[in-house]
Each structure stands twice: as structure tokens, then as C-alpha cells.
Chain A
Amino acid sequence: MVILEATKIHKSYGNKLNKQSVLSGLDISIEEGEFVGIMGSSGSGKTTLLNVLSSIDQISNGSITIEGTEISNMKEKQLAEFRKNHLGFIFQEYNLLDTLTVKENILLPLSITNTPKKIANEKFENVARELGILELKNKYPNEISGGQKQRTSAARAFIHDPSIIFADEPTGALDSKSASDLLNKLSELNQRRKATIVMVTHDPVAASYCSRVIFIKDGTIYTQLNKGEQSRQVFFNDIIKTQGVLGGVQNEH
């Protein structure tokens, strides 16, 4: 089943006279349970794409539907409503609230939807155990490591069983050990919970954990790779090759 469908999305900044186009007529479609990576060089528009897909930013043209709901012309209030029920977020900078404990941070999405306390506690125990952060529940973010913070952030994204989880460079600030830990956990959750994950990254290792990787260049899709049945190592090599073709400035002469 297609869970996210974006057709001909355009996004440009600036006024009529000085227009800077970031996304130009991009089509994307994501199936339920997929773990999709979005790659591209700096300035290729991947973060903008993630922002518009996740309803944080408005598109200039085109349409985006998530689970059959058109989100490109929703009002601010409806969008907030939509985000709290259907979307989860993981960010590069963790984005945890410093003044809340790990548990309080993770439970935030449930408190918006007024989930009963007992159910909330059960859900918390489950997701925290899966991510291995149950013992940290009463600690504050500045008392735990970066990897633990990112797992807390991931737990917050998963706890309310959203339709799609958007991850923006989740391993960007982590060392390689914590990064692979986190990615393993993410793909575990992806398989066990059938959670759909869309991840922006410029790290080929991170991308090799995905089931499909989309390459973006200058606001359009350049190509995409499917992992299929091949091993992660082979998929990684494919990604590296594609990136090699994709990267660099074309010689105009």
C-alpha cells in the first residue's frame, strides 16, 4: 500500500524577480513498511524535501498525500493535528527538551493526544526496552551520551505508532559505534513494528541500512537504488558508485 505520494512538487524561495528553485517537479512514492533513504550533495534540496513531506514547510506547487489525506493545503491547526497523530521525527541535533527527563521527553507525543496514563506507561516500557534506554528514564538529557540521546529521540518518534517517521541526518552527530547501534535499532523497529521510515543522510553507511535509496540532484530525482536481496556490503558499494557519478561539478567546457 502506498503511504506517501508526492506528485510534481515545486518549492522555490524568493520573489518573482529573484526566484531560487529548490525542488522542481519531484515525484516520490513510499510504500508502507519501507525504510527509504534520501541522499544528495549539500544544497541538493534533501532537507527541504523532508520538510515539505513532513508538513513543516509549505510547497509552492504540486500535491502531497499521506495515507490518502492531502496535506499541501491544510490549515496550520489541521497540520498540527495531523502531525501529532501520523508523524514522528528524529533530528540530527536530537531536539530533546533539556528540562524534561528521558521518560517525560518520550511521553510528550502521547500527552498531546491525551492517551490514558496506563496505556502510555505500557507503550513507554515497550519502546524504551526495545531501544535499550529503560534504565535511563529518570535522567536528564545532559546526563546521557549522544547515542543515548538519539535513541531517546527515536523512542519519542516511535511511541505513538505514527504512519511515517522522518529522520533528518540522525547519525550526523554520532560516533560510528553509536551510529551503527542506532541504525540497527531503526531497521529492527522498521521490521518488527512495520514502521515506515524516511531518512535523509549524506552518509553512505547509514544509507546502506535502507531498503531503497533515492538520490536527489538539483531538486529532482537523479536515480534510485533498491537493496532487494543483496547484502548490506554490496548495497553499500552500489551506493558509493552512484554517489561518485552523482557528485562533483560538471565541467562546462
Chain B
Amino acid sequence: MSINVLMLRNLRKNIRNYYLYVFALVFSVALYFAFVTLQYDPSMDAVEGSIKGGAAIKAASVLLVAIVSIFLLYANTIFIKRRGKEIGLFQLIGMTKGKIFRILSAENFILYFGSLVLGIAVGFSVSKLILMILFKIMGIDAIASLRFSTPALVQTLIVFFVIYLLIMLMNYGFIKRQSILSLFRVTSTTEGNVKKLSFFEMIIGIAGIGLILLGYSISSRLFSGDLTSMTELSISMITILASVIIGTYLFYKGSVSFIFHLIRKKKNGYLNIKEVLSLSSIMFRMKSNAVLLTIITTVSALALGLLSLSYISFYSAEKSAKLYVPSDFILTDIQDAKQFKEALTTENLLFTEKITEVIQVDVNIENILAENSKTLGMMSNNMTLPVISENSLEGIDLSPDEAYFTKTSSAMENLISMKDQGGIEFKGQHEVIPQFYKRIDMEAPVLYNFTGGGLPLAIVDDTTFERLKKDLDPALQRKSSLNIGIDMKERASVEQANELFQNMKFAKGHITDSQLETMNNQKQTMGLIMFIVAFLGLTFLITSGCILYFKQMDESENEKPNYTILRKLGFTQGDLLRGIQAKQLFNFGIPLVIGLLHSYFAVKSGWFFFGTELMTPMILVMLLYTALYSIFAVLSVFYYKKVIKESL
């Protein structure tokens, strides 16, 4: 048999084994090629919003390469170890190491570049689809056109060729290092020895769970107002990160075997088949994969968290826009408003106008700050708050010594908590006006520029307002004190009005804003981020799922003799398969649940900075992730099924 035939035979056998590897490779190449194509695509200019679309995609493609190369290198270490015996045999029959390396390289070359070409073809054909998805998410009305970009092709080829060289370098090192004997032994030394649970491991196990819980409990208090200064805030953030990551590592290293050990102890030696296959094997194997599992859990928690947050932001875009810009259009200059109104009238668009005067006044809020906010270093007892008169609102009538505060933003609410009522003081330049304050359930009816993005707005009696106005501190005032809100009478005409608004030539530096535009901007920015995070997350999911699958493939082959024994003892294939299902439930389920929990607590601690809705977007993201992730667990069960069938 010539070398070429040998090579082709190997290849045919490998493809059957490594179809998932080929799939992951094709997927990564396709995605990378599509991203790079987008990066060079002129239509991406349309995506220019508050961030540059092209730059963001470029950054994403760099991250993508990082994920993919780590995956490919890691997968390669698994594969080369599996073929240790074969390499040893070649050496035994007198092949030189150089020749073996050449065979492996050629084999890899065909497999790798075959996938690369396929990946580029797929990437080219789906790049239009991806662009369409992007446009759809961002709400851009542009037609995605299919263009083959040569620079994208060259870049993809170069990047993946470099990765190929790295893989070859690794294989070369592996072959060079091994002697014939050690190659025969290689698979048996990969997993840790089975040992009794030591006292030290018990401590590790308890510490792992303790650290994770500590991290969670700090995270839930992070923005509750207990923390008194910026330094404390950052220290506790670092503590959370450290304790959760270290805790996760210790969890895999010790806690899992500790918990399983307790369960086994309770069984007093009498295990059923499910327990034999799941408890006992996971107990020992999870330990040896602790680093890998920690990385997978942490990164997937990160991906899930980011995805949830960007989806929360995207999902709440409409609500947020209404909070920021409470009228359809808000202007702050009479001349601008006049111009815009004229434009609306010429187009026969009906509207209502409402002018609110907003002044900025120093307010002493010492008496109404809740106890736990008082010490907060960044807050002084004096706050500069926007004030409007009761006349600007319908249905509110106050006595001269009364003041209402509107709702604050949810982020602000988490940072400073105020009592529901109490005494405050308005401080003008010369006089101080004491007032009795009450909180009401109403959003501030003015543009967010006046409320500093989320401070409460004070509503006072008209006489008080006049007094404050006469005594104003000019240094505190905004460029304009007018909030000119224009609302369209018919919802249908908002879009047309918005077009007019965008085409108006307002004087430079005048603050104007449109609700629709704010919403679209947020949707575009968050849509782009979401798009990128989602695809990166998907790549990570697929690659890490593949790695877990490969590990399971390895494990199933290592455990094959066990299945032989069990089947000889009289367990049926069905019995064993049920045991394997239980095992995979833990094997894939534990990292998944830990990852989901991590991201849940991460999102929960700070979601209010991103939007107004927590549950729906987060649960949607998590469900999707779980579903995709489960595919790999199911695939691994099928592989086990094959191994069990062959075991007798």
C-alpha cells in the first residue's frame, strides 16, 4: 500500500469521526469571511450611526479569529493524542518522524483547506443574508447586494493559513517529542487517577460553592446604595469577578466530586446503573477538565450577559426613547420651533405645541435622602435639580409650600434612594425657600437634557416658581430654559414629520431632539452590538460545544471496556444508554446551569442602566442558548450509543 493510499484511507476514516470538527471549521470560516466581506462592503456606510459599523465589525472579526484559533488548536491537541497509537505504529515499521509529519500535514491540509474552500463558498452565499439580518435588526431600509470582495478573500485565506501553520507547528512538536513507547501509552495518562476524596478536596469543594455564593450576594447589593464610594464600588466589582471565577474553578475541581461523594456515601455501595455511569465517572473526570470548563463557563456567561444586556437595551428602545424625549419633537429655541412649525403647516400636518419653562435650582435634599444614601461619597446634600411650574401641567394644583418630584430613572433610583416625603429647601442666590416635598408617580415631561439624564424634576406652585425665577443663579442654567414640545395629532404623520425635522437647518449648538430618531438610534446602535455579540456568542457556543463533544468522544472510547464488562454482566444496551443520558445531563448540564446563573446575576446587578425590561429579553436569550447547547449533548449521546453497541 503506497503512502498516498494510506493517507486517503486515514482521511476517509477521519471525516466520519470528525464531521463536527469539519462543521465547526466550515462555520467559522463562513462567518469570518462574511464578516470581512461586510467590513469591505460599501453598503456598510449606511450603518454609520453613533458608532462606526465597519470598525465594530472589524473588531468583531478579530475576536472571532481569536476564538476560532483557540478552538482549532485545542481540538487539534485532542485529535493528535487520539492518533498516538497510529503514529507509534508508523514509527515501529520504520517510518521517519519527518515522513510521518508529512503524512499528517498532507492529511490535515486536505481536510483543513477543503473545509476552508467550502466555508468561503458558504460565507459568500450567506453574507447577503447576514447583511439583510443586520439591516433588519437595525431598521435600515437599504437593499443588501451581493458582492464578491477580493480583499476579504485574501484576508480570510491569510488568517486561516497562519492558523494552519500553527497547527502544523504543534503537530511537529508533538511528533518530535514522542518516543515509540510513550506514544502507545498516551491515551491512558490523560485522565486523572481515581483516588479517595481527601480532606483538602472537601475544603476546596466547600470553598468553591462559598465563593460563588459570595460573588452572587455582593453582586445583588452592588447598586443597592449600600456601597458608599466609587472606590468601594470598584473594589466590590473586582471582588465579584475574582470570587465567581475562582469559585467556578474550585467548583469543578472539588465541589462536584464532593457533592457526588456525599450522594454515593448515602447509597452505601449499592448503585444502580444510572449512578454507576453518571456519578462515578463525572466525579473523577470533571476534576481533570476544571480549567477548560471554567473558561467555557465564564466566557459563555459573558456572552450570555452581553447578549441579554444588548437585547434588553434593544427591546426597551421604545420605552427609553419616550423617557428621554417625552414629546414627538422637542426644541429649545423659539426661532427653531417657528421654522419647524412652518414646515409642518406647509405639509398640512396637524400638531400641538407646548412650551415649558425649565429652570435649574440648587436644592437641599439632606432631610429626604434615605439613610443608606447619605454616606454615598459622590452625592452631596445639595443637588441641582430642574424645576417647572404647576401651570405647565394639567391637573396639578399645589399650595405655595408644596413641591412634587417626578420619578427618577431606574438607574438613578438604584443609586440614590429618597424618602417619599419630607422637607427640602430651594436655594436661590439670595433667599432660601423651604418646601414640603412629595413623590409622585409621573415621568418628567421634559427633554432629558434638563433632567441630567435621570434626576427628578421638581414641580412647584406658580408663585414659588416666580420667586425662584427672579433669584436665579445664572451659572446653573442651561443654554436655553425652554422645552418646546411638539406632538403630532395623528400618529401616522410622525414619520413624515420626522423627515422634515431631519432636513431642517437648525442653528448649530441648539438642542433639538426627535423621539422617533432617538428610538431608531438606540435600535441601530444596540442592534449592531447585539448582532455582533450574537454571532460571536454563536461561534463560541458552537466551538465550545464541539470541544465538549470531542472530550466526550474521547471519554466514551476510554470507557468502552467498562461497557463491555457491564454488558457481560447482563445490562442491556438500553440500560447503559439511560445511564449515559443521565451522565450527559450532568456533563453538559452543570456547565450550562452555572453559566446561566452567572449571567443571570451579572445581568441582574446592572441591567437598569441599559433599559426598562429585564425578564422577557433575558429569558428569551437564555432559552435560545440552552436549546442550541443541548444539540451537542444529544449528539454526544448518539456517539455513546454507537460505542456501547460496538462494545460487545
A interface residues, Cβ below 8 angstroms from B:
54, 56, 76-77, 80-85, 87, 89, 95-101, 103-104, 107-112, 117, 120-121, 124, 137-138, 140-143, 156
Contacts and interface: CB of A to CB of B under 8 A. Distances in A.
Given A56-B648, A108-B569, A138-B196, 8 more contacts: A83-B568, A95-B561, A97-B562, A104-B264, A104-B271, A107-B269, A140-B196, A142-B194
A140 B571 CA distance: 22
B168 to A, nearest CB: 36
Given A95-B561, A112-B273, A120-B270, A87 B570 contact: yes
Interface stretch (B26-34, B279-287, B487-495): B279-287
A84 B570 contact: yes
A83 B284 contact: no
Given A111-B272, A121-B268, A99 B284 contact: yes
Contact of A80 (B196, B280, B572): B572
Nearest to A99: B280
A95 B562 CA distance: 8
Nearest to A102: B269
A97 B280 contact: yes
Interface in B257-294: 264, 268-273, 276, 280-281, 283-284
Contacts of B273: 111-112
Nearest to B282: A99
Contacts of A84: 569-571
B573 interface: yes
A108 B276 contact: yes
Nearest to B645: A76
Interface of B: 193-196, 264, 268-273, 276, 280-281, 283-284, 561-562, 564-575, 648
A116 to B, nearest CB: 10
Given A83-B568, A112-B570, A107 B270 contact: yes
Identify which of A76, A99, A120, A156 gathers the most chain B CB atoms within 10 Å of its CB: A99
A95 B195 CA distance: 18
Given A99-B284, A142-B193, A80 B565 contact: no
A230 to B, nearest CB: 35
Contacts of A85: 570
A101 B284 CA distance: 13
Contacts of A98: 194, 562
Contact of B271 (A54, A95, A111): A111
Contacts of A76: 572-573
Contacts of B193: 142
Contacts of B281: 99
Contacts of A140: 194-196
Contact of A77 (B195, B264, B566, B572): B572
B372 to A, nearest CB: 52
Closest 9 CB pairs of A and B: A84-B570, A103-B269, A83-B570, A99-B280, A80-B572, A95-B565, A111-B272, A140-B194, A104-B269
A54 B570 CA distance: 11
Contacts of A99: 194, 280-281, 283-284
Contacts of B272: 111
A112 B575 contact: yes
Contacts of B276: 97, 100, 104, 108, 111
Contacts of A156: 569
B576 to A, nearest CB: 10
Nearest to B571: A112
B280 A83 contact: no
B570 A81 contact: yes
29 contacts: A56-B568, A76-B572, A80-B567, A80-B571, A80-B572, A82-B570, A84-B569, A84-B571, A97-B565, A97-B566, A98-B194, A99-B280, A100-B280, A104-B280, A107-B270, A107-B271, A109-B569, A109-B570, A110-B270, A111-B273, A112-B571, A117-B268, A120-B270, A121-B268, A140-B194, A140-B195, A140-B196, A142-B194, A143-B196
Contacts of A137: 269
Nearest to A93: B561
Identify which of A56, A101, A104, A137 gathers the most chain B CB atoms within 10 Å of its CB: A104
B196 A124 contact: no
A111 B566 CA distance: 11
Contacts of B572: 76-77, 80-81
A103 B270 CA distance: 8
A85 B648 CA distance: 18
Contact of B269 (A95, A96, A124): A124
A89 B569 CA distance: 7
A62 to B, nearest CB: 21
A99 B564 CA distance: 15
A98 to B, nearest CB: 5
Nearest to B576: A80
Contacts of B574: 77
Contacts of B565: 95-97
